[in-house]
Structure 1
């Protein structure tokens, strides 16, 4: 039955009965296998590359072969659609491969020192020939520094974004938005140098008998400078996505603007805001240069973020990776795995909290 006959008979036109011919799965797999074999013969036979180049060339051969095979069976239009769909799947796989490689490397090399000693001791009095030592002091430093930075940056960033979206008009708002965009791309070492020249060398001597003092709080201030633009920009974009009729409906009921923002706009944009905050926290937790410049790093445990040198996991990884001890690389990999796991746990917890709050309203 032709298409016209089906329409006359009242048969619904669906993708299942419109598509008359479809490329068999066996042909698709055969094209893929032929592409791999042909690529291996060309690349490995001529010696121009390794298996990575074989995979790249095989993808190109597969897309070309798939287009010609599908065009003979399904037609050119369907062949283009199938080829582009395969190209999208290939790009997705290529994007996932580096992430999977990083995770596999971290897990395979980081499990060597996953023990109680690593999480319950510091590097105090640990020499290059000692196999022990741990990152307890670095974990404490990271939690304190990132926690203080988040307490400062999140309220300021969210309030700044609310001003830009809900209240900001004219030249001043444009100037603020411009400087936020500029700060988004500043190197982390610039933030560390700023806090070093301002807080450590100028402000801290007022509280330390005229002597400059490194501290974890100074590192938190440097991380705050790095977190603020990310939080402001992400929160601003999320607030702009809130539909205008929600605000208008609230205003029509006589609700003041501040309460509309608090009860309607912010809860609607909360999942996106949480995502932006966690991205900023992840960036801050992985920074090394600011902590090295203004906190100094320490081998002993320091619970006081306002006095004395303090360590962080990122700085611990950097120092252990450059240490000449044969036990240092294992500590560096385990610390890196711990840092990634810590950020992952915080992200999952924040996502679950935001989802629970959204469902409870």
Structure 2
């Protein structure tokens, strides 16, 4: 009996890897796309930066998709194209911010100086030369901004935090009052800022008369905008506190109020303070409600209960929209006020970052 030998068919080994484009293909393809689109635009007799960038991005996505599908396969090509789309979306989102910052800094640095920050600006009539002399200065606007925003924060922060504590710690999900407060907070979050200014001016006009312009009136308008932000941010931070901490405190016989103060609020202190500072940074640049409620003035006024008060956003708006005889000087002063406002917002955001790190539970 002979044993038949069966020979196994010879097959090529399966390849677990496919071809791969070199690492420099993406920047090289994008650079080539920039060159090609630029040459085409110059041949057509015109060159626009926005059109150049948009068509270069489109050409790059097409080129990288074709090359990758030929060498690496369809799945890798899809990955590269989607990554290119995400990067393009990021660039489109950041470009307006960078452009705005560059415009404000480039035009505001020319007028920004120590004297501009420390002296009161305005216009005065020179009897000798019979000319109206404009003095650059933003001290009255800086003081007015800090006063109105500070009063708004002093009113809004306790109300917002206490309302959030009630919604999270005391009110039941089926409580009608809780539903009403949540609905009103959602409505107030999307309310136009000019409506808040009209509300504050109408309220004080009924109390003190038609000449109701004051810094306190502007602060009330900012409170309408700031309270829902504080409530929503504080509510979310309180919900992140684990229920085990509350239950452990209750198991030790600690009352609910002490548990909230000592355990819940201290655990969420970092997020709460960050939300408060960001809410302040949000309302400090409002123009419409302050313009309606506090009006504007070139005189220095540090009394929030008496007379109009100047702020940085209103100063930038009025100097640019209603320039004096020297239009260039008025516009320069507007850009200087805008730059000061940007610096103030950056300071608030840095304070929020520092406070978040200091009061974080891990740091303690």
- TM-score, normalised to structure 2, is 0.85
Residues in 2 aligned to 1:88 and 1:233: alpha-carbon distance in whole angstroms? 30
Residue 279 of structure 1 corresponds to which residue in structure 2?
Answer: 278
Residue 357 of structure 1 corresponds to which residue in structure 2?
Answer: 359
Q: Which has the higher helix share?
A: 1
Residues in 1 aligned to 2:311 and 2:109: alpha-carbon distance in whole angstroms? 20
Task: State the Cα distance separating 1:49 from its structure 2 match.
Answer: 7.1
Are residues 74 and 286 of structure 1, via their aligned partners in 2, closer, same or farther at CA, if it must alter by over 3 Å? Answer: same
- For residue 25 of structure 1, give the secondary structure of its aligned residue in structure 2: coil
Aligned residues of 1:202 and 1:212 also touching (Cα < 8 A): no
Q: Deviations over 1:163-186 (max 9, x none)?
A: 112222321111111111111111
Residues in 2 aligned to 1:250 and 1:75: alpha-carbon distance in whole angstroms? 59
Residue 144 of structure 2 corresponds to which residue in structure 1?
Answer: 141
Residue 329 of structure 1 corresponds to which residue in structure 2?
Answer: 331
Residue 188 of structure 1 corresponds to which residue in structure 2?
Answer: 193
Which structure 2 residues correspond to residues 1-361 of structure 1 after superposition, within 5 A? Answer: 21-43=19-41, 45-46=43-44, 50-126=48-124, 129-169=132-172, 170-198=175-203, 200-204=204-208, 212-322=211-321, 323-324=323-324, 325-326=326-327, 327-358=329-360, 360-361=363-364
Task: State the Cα distance separating 1:293 from its structure 2 match.
Answer: 1.9
Are residues 237 and 45 of structure 1, via their aligned partners in 2, closer, same or farther at CA, if it must alter by over 3 Å? Answer: farther
Are residues 77 and 284 of structure 1, via their aligned partners in 2, closer, same or farther at CA, if it must alter by over 3 Å? Answer: same
Q: Which runs of 5+ in 2 are unaligned?
A: 1-12, 126-130
Residue 8 of structure 1 corresponds to which residue in structure 2?
Answer: none
Residue 9 of structure 2 corresponds to which residue in structure 1?
Answer: none
Aligned residues of 1:235 and 1:273 also touching (Cα < 8 A): yes
The structure whose Rg is larger is 2
Task: State the Cα distance separating 1:42 from its structure 2 match.
Answer: 4.7
Residues in 2 aligned to 1:129 and 1:45: alpha-carbon distance in whole angstroms? 53
Q: Deviations over 1:147-206 (max 9, x none)?
A: 0100110111111112112222321111111111111111112111111111x222235x
Aligned residues of 2:155 and 2:223 also touching (Cα < 8 A): yes
Report which stretch shifted further, 189-198 or 247-256: 247-256
Aligned residues of 1:154 and 1:277 also touching (Cα < 8 A): yes
Aligned residues of 1:201 and 1:212 also touching (Cα < 8 A): yes
Task: State the Cα distance separating 1:316 from its structure 2 match.
Answer: 0.6
Residues in 1 aligned to 2:340 and 2:217: alpha-carbon distance in whole angstroms? 23
Q: Which runs of 5+ in 1 are unaligned?
A: 6-17, 206-210
Report which stretch shifted further, 265-274 or 232-241: 265-274
- For residue 316 of structure 2, give the secondary structure of its aligned residue in structure 1: helix
- TM-score, normalised to structure 1, is 0.85
Residues in 2 aligned to 1:246 and 1:43: alpha-carbon distance in whole angstroms? 65
Report which stretch shifted further, 227-236 or 266-275: 266-275
Residue 6 of structure 2 corresponds to which residue in structure 1?
Answer: none
Report which stretch shifted further, 289-298 or 102-111: 289-298
Are residues 61 and 251 of structure 1, via their aligned partners in 2, closer, same or farther at CA, if it must alter by over 3 Å? Answer: farther
Q: Deviations over 1:276-323 (max 9, x none)?
A: 323321232111222222222221111211222211111111110021
Q: Deviations over 1:16-71 (max 9, x none)?
A: xx866432123323322332234335555446872211211211221222122223
Q: Deviations over 1:240-275 (max 9, x none)?
A: 233333333433444333233223333333333333
C-alpha RMSD of matched pairs (Å):
2.4
Are residues 63 and 267 of structure 1, via their aligned partners in 2, closer, same or farther at CA, if it must alter by over 3 Å? Answer: farther
